C-alpha cells in the first residue's frame, strides 16, 4: 500500500492531561509503520455536549503511514487502551485519552466502524484551529471549504480554546500551559 498522510486528533480531560497527550505522541512516534511528521500546539478547550466535566487538552498530529484506515483505527484504539482508556457506553464522558482519525489522505470512508473525514470535524474548533496551525488554509475533504472559513463560521459558538506553549523535537517533548 502507498503511504498516506493522516491527521489524528488527541484529547484528554483526566489528569494528568498534558502528560497523557505527550505519552500518546511518544507512543505514536514509536509505532511500527507510522512516521510522525508534525504536531500542533497544545490547546486547552472547553468540553462539548456534556459541559459537566473538566476542560480538555487537545492537539492534532500529522503522520505518514502505510497502514490501511480500518487497521489504523484498531492501532489507535490499542494505543488508547495502553494509555488507560476504558470502554464507556455513554458518549461525551470524561476520558484519559481520545484519538480520532480526522483525515486519511484525500479519502472519504463511511462504514459502521469508521467515518473519514471524522464526523465532527467541521463543528469542532479544537480540531480546526490546530489543523490550521499545522497545515495552513487547506481545503477540507468532504466540504471543499477552506479551513479558515470553517473556523470563522465557528467563532459564533461559545466553546473556548486557549493555546499552550508547546515544542516537539527528536529528543524530548516539552510544554507549558
Report pLDDT for 122. 85
Query: What is the pLDDT at residue 49?
Result: 76
- For residue 29, give its domain range: 4-176
Domain of residue 73, CATH code: 3.30.70.560
Residue 50 has what pLDDT? 67
Over residues 77-109, the pLDDT tens digits come to: 999 999 988 776 567 678 899 999 999 999 999
Render pLDDT for 24-51 as a digit per residue (tens, 0 to 9): 999 999 999 999 999 999 999 887 776 6
160 grid coordinates:
473556548
Cis peptide bond prior to 117, omega within 30° of 0: yes
Alpha carbon distance 116, 100 (integer Å): 10
Residue 137 burial (CB < 10 Å; 0-12/13-18/19+)? exposed
pLDDT of residue 1: 77
pLDDT surpasses 90 at 22: yes
Q: How many domains does the chain have?
A: 1
Residue-level pLDDT at 76: 97
Residues 44-50: contacts with CB under 8 Å, at least 24 apart: 44/161, 44/162, 44/164, 44/177, 45/125, 45/126, 45/159, 45/160, 45/161, 45/162, 46/159, 46/160, 46/161, 47/13, 47/92, 48/92, 48/124, 48/159, 49/91, 49/92, 50/92, 50/93
Q: How confident is the model at residue 120 (pLDDT cuts 50, 70, 90)?
A: confident
pLDDT digits (tens, 9 = 90+) for 129-163: 999 999 999 998 878 889 999 888 876 565 677 88
Amino acid at each position: 500500500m502507498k503511504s498516506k498522510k493522516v491527521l489524528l486528533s488527541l484529547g484528554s480531560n483526566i489528569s494528568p492531561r498534558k502528560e497523557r497527550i505527550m505519552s500518546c505522541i511518544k507512543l505514536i512516534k514509536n509505532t511500527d509503520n507510522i512516521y510522525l511528521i508534525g504536531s500542533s500546539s497544545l490547546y486547552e478547550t472547553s468540553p462539548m455536549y456534556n459541559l459537566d466535566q473538566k476542560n480538555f487538552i487537545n492537539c492534532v498530529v500529522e503522520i505518514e503511514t502505510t497502514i490501511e484506515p480500518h487497521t489504523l483505527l484498531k492501532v489507535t484504539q490499542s494505543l488508547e487502551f495502553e494509555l488507560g482508556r476504558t470502554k464507556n457506553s455513554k458518549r461525551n464522558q470524561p476520558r484519559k485519552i481520545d484519538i480520532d482519525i480526522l483525515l486519511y489522505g484525500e479519502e472519504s470512508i463511511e462504514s459502521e466502524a469508521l467515518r473519514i473525514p471524522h464526523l465532527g470535524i467541521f463543528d469542532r474548533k479544537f480540531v480546526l484551529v490546530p489543523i490550521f496551525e499545522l497545515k495552513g488554509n487547506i481545503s477540507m475533504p468532504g466540504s471543499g471549504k477552506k479551513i479558515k472559513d470553517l473556523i470563522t463560521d465557528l467563532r459564533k459558538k461559545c466553546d473556548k480554546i486557549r493555546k499552550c506553549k508547546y515544542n516537539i523535537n527528536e529528543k524530548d517533548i516539552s510544554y507549558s500551559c
